[in-house]
Amino acid sequence: MMKKHTWLKYSWLMVTMLFGMIIFNTTTAQADTKEPHYVIATDTTYAPFEFQGQNGQYVGIDMDMLRAIAKKEHFTYKLVPIAFNSGAQGVLSGQFDAIIAGMTITPEREQVYDFGTPYYKTGIIAAVSPKSNITDLKQLRGKTVALKTGTGSAQYALSIQKKYGFKVTYFNDSNTMYNAVALGNAAAAFEDDPVMKYAIKNGVKLKIITQPANGGEYGFAVKKGQNKELLAKFNAGYAAIKKDGTYDKIVAKYLGSNESKFAGSAKENDSILGLLKQNKDQFISGVIKTLQLTVFGIIFATIFGVLIGVLAVVPNKFAYGLSSTIIYIFRGLPLLVLAFFIYIGLPSLTGTKIPAIVAGLITLTLNEGAYIAAFVAGGLKNVDAGQMEAARSLGLPYWKAMRKIIMPQGIKLMIPSFVNQFIITLKDTSILSAIGIIELTQTGTVIISRNMQGFRVWFIVALMYLIIITLLTFLAKWVDKKFSSN
Amino acid sequence: MGIKVKVTDLHKAYGDNEVLKGINLEVQENEVVVMIGPSGSGKSTFLRTLNKLENPTTGSIAIDGIDLTAKETNLNKVRENIGMVFQHFNLFPHLTVLENVTLAPVELGKISKEEAKTLGMQLLAQVGLADKADAKPTQLSGGQKQRVAIARALAMKPSIMLFDEPTSALDPEMVGEVLKVMRDLAQEGMTMIVVTHEMGFAKQVADRVVFFADGYIREEGTPEEVFGNPQDPRAKDFLNKVLNV
């Protein structure tokens, strides 16, 4: 009786080991330093405070400042670029030690965060499309205004919403919000003064219609009552760079010069080939991340899905119940919700941090695995019952019959569904950009946040997905052929 | 001459529908028992309880003295000793003919792959299909499939063979080749229990004919007794219909 389950055990062992290897890989990168090490979140697209430079490194006022302070105060950190709202929540759940992301200090936020010395004074401005004849907030009555989720500017806009009578819609990054206004999907956008100005200077077609209002201040934030040492180091370092002029130099570098050097040359931005050449390294690393997620996602999801699918056909009520519950839950949850739950929700419960890539892979494994389990169960049920009877009548134990007789026939029936699921998995990896994994889609967002070339960059990204999907389909067809000729 | 099969007061019900209503049967070593009766009389269900493909509701089954209804019985071990041939062959379509025959003894560690190959070829020759060893089941006719299925069952060297309507799914011209293989087996002294509608086979080969109706054994005896002078009215009626077409 013991022998029956050994291959199941082996499969589980393999899954846990592979997951373990990934976790191990991502955490050993930071070993062996005597200096304290922190994980710090930042926004992915908030130029000029944080955005990816052409060499792929994060630059901007926040980034340069953090680098200078870390050097002065002798600490190291791992930077996690992630959508602002997820980053802010991640600090509260313990996933990150701190966040620096042009974060306005507000009384509400001060109830849950401890802020460092305010380092930048800002105001909120509104902008409209240059073609628009709106010149005053009063003209926004009845119109829709674009806001960025969870930001101070959004809060400000809401505070004046009653007075001016506009409707609101939300976006997760600044560039998409600008485009919504430029394309006429929204009448106006509210954003922090330096951010909006930097974007306009770099080619975003918007017109500012208000003076900076509701002056706020940016602060470096940790969870209330936590990471006191890091906060103290930040404050000491900030005081030092303010005193020796480093801070002013950094701000001047991004906002002082009339001509921006960060968006790339205008000539190259004008052609797709030029954009490709200019952002080659970023695109390559984005494609590699996407492929990694896809390949490992497919492997883990297949192992998980086959196990759960087989459980559904075992003549055992408990196994069937377990299997259908797992399929019900993970097929029912939207991938994005599952990703947020694992990456941001679980660490608040358990207190252990999960690297984004591991959270992403677990998400794919559970979600895609549930779909795989459903069609594996269906495929196995479609194998004629006489096959199992014939195998058992020869004296083969259940699991041996399952493995040698039922599974090879069932899997053949499932091949088209597998190919389909693999393509879906590839596309679903793009959703994981929301938890800060810089895969292909996020690479597109990040490049656009610097050069504002929305159409051309998304065109390139779309083309790359199609190429990968074509290759994947070819590979699947080849495997299918091998399988059926065998 | 030992007792191979001893069934005592066997009942089988699906919910409220009782299909076996108290079956008692003993089968001796080397005996060929043919079970006949109208469709739905319970004879196939009964045959399938003999290797526990169906679980009886109550009653006991002993094969070579081993009680199949006892919890501690290792069913896999018992089944190794009972060959079964199905109406629809149930060959493994993803394996070659030879692999169909050798799979079980190799997987269960009875013999090595080489020995299995020799044994497999020998069994295929015995059923007249040595030239089809590398074919896939889909390339065979019905009669050939059923002969492979018999060879597959024999590869485990069983001491009892169960046949569940082995010729019912065949075209008429293929029935003969399967019955010939079965006749040869009987002559070699295999203990066989056969559910069939082939009355000619029953007359010639059976040591004993058992007539099923409505979940009971209604009549039992030598072929001469049952075919020549049936006592039970249901048996009379049934035989009258099938023998005088």
pLDDT score, position A198 = 82
On whether ipTM exceeds 0.85, the answer is yes
Residue B14, domain extent = 1-74+193-244
8 Å CB contact of A394 and B79 = yes
Residue B25 lies inside a defined structural domain of this protein: yes
pLDDT score, position A29 = 43
Q: What percent of chain A has pLDDT over 90?
A: 51
pLDDT score, position A279 = 84
Of B80, B88, B107, the CB nearest to A400: B107
pLDDT of B1-48, one tens digit each? 589 999 999 999 999 999 999 999 999 999 999 999 998 899 999 999
Q: Which of A394, A404, A412 to mutate to test the interface with B (most CBs of B within 10 A)?
A: A394
pTM above 0.80, yes or no: no
Residue B197 lies inside a defined structural domain of this protein: yes
Residue B29 lies inside a defined structural domain of this protein: yes
pLDDT score, position A354 = 82
Look at residue B88 and give its three-state secondary structure: coil
pLDDT score, position A27 = 44
| Whether pLDDT at A82 is above 90 | no
User: Measured between alpha carbons, how far is A443 from A453 in angstroms, rounded to an integer?
Assistant: 13
Tell whether A393 is within 8 A of chain B (Cβ). Answer: yes
8 Å CB contact of B104 and A396 = yes
CATH code, domain with B42: 3.40.50.300
Based on the structure, what is the number of domains in chain B?
1
Q: Give A307→chain B minimum CA distance, Å.
A: 22
Q: Give A178→chain B minimum CA distance, Å.
A: 59
Residue B207 lies inside a defined structural domain of this protein: yes
Residue B211 lies inside a defined structural domain of this protein: yes
Residue B175 lies inside a defined structural domain of this protein: no
Residue B64 lies inside a defined structural domain of this protein: yes
Six token digits for residue A187: 């009448």
pLDDT of A303-324, one tens digit each? 999 999 999 999 889 999 999 9
Six token digits for residue B176: 């003969």
pLDDT of A408-427, one tens digit each? 999 888 888 988 899 999 99
Of A384, A393, A408, the CB nearest to B79: A393
Mean pLDDT calculated for residue range B74-103: 96
Six token digits for residue A431: 């959703």
8 Å CB contact of A390 and B91 = yes
Q: Which of A192-206, B38-52, B126-140, B162-176 has the lowest mean pLDDT?
A: A192-206
pLDDT of A424-480, one tens digit each? 999 999 999 888 788 999 888 878 877 777 788 899 999 999 999 999 888 888 887
Please report, as a single letter, which amino acid is at residue A164. Answer: Y
pLDDT score, position A257 = 55
Residue A108 CB partners (closer than 8 Å, separation 6+) = none
Q: How many residues does chain A have?
A: 486
Residue B216 lies inside a defined structural domain of this protein: yes
| Whether pLDDT at A76 is above 90 | yes
User: Measured between alpha carbons, how far is A160 from A126 in angstroms, rounded to an integer?
Assistant: 12
Q: Which of A393, A399, A407 to mutate to test the interface with B (most CBs of B within 10 A)?
A: A393
pLDDT score, position A466 = 94
Quick check: A270 and A447 in contact, CB under 8 A?
A: no
> Which residues in A lie closer than 8 A to residue B51 (C-beta atoms)?
393
- Higher confidence at residue A239 or residue A83? A239
**Of A136, A260, A242, residue with least CA distance to A199:** A260
- Higher confidence at residue A198 or residue B92? B92
pLDDT of A13-31, one tens digit each? 555 555 555 544 444 444 4
CA angle A354–A357–A360, rounded 5-degree value? 90
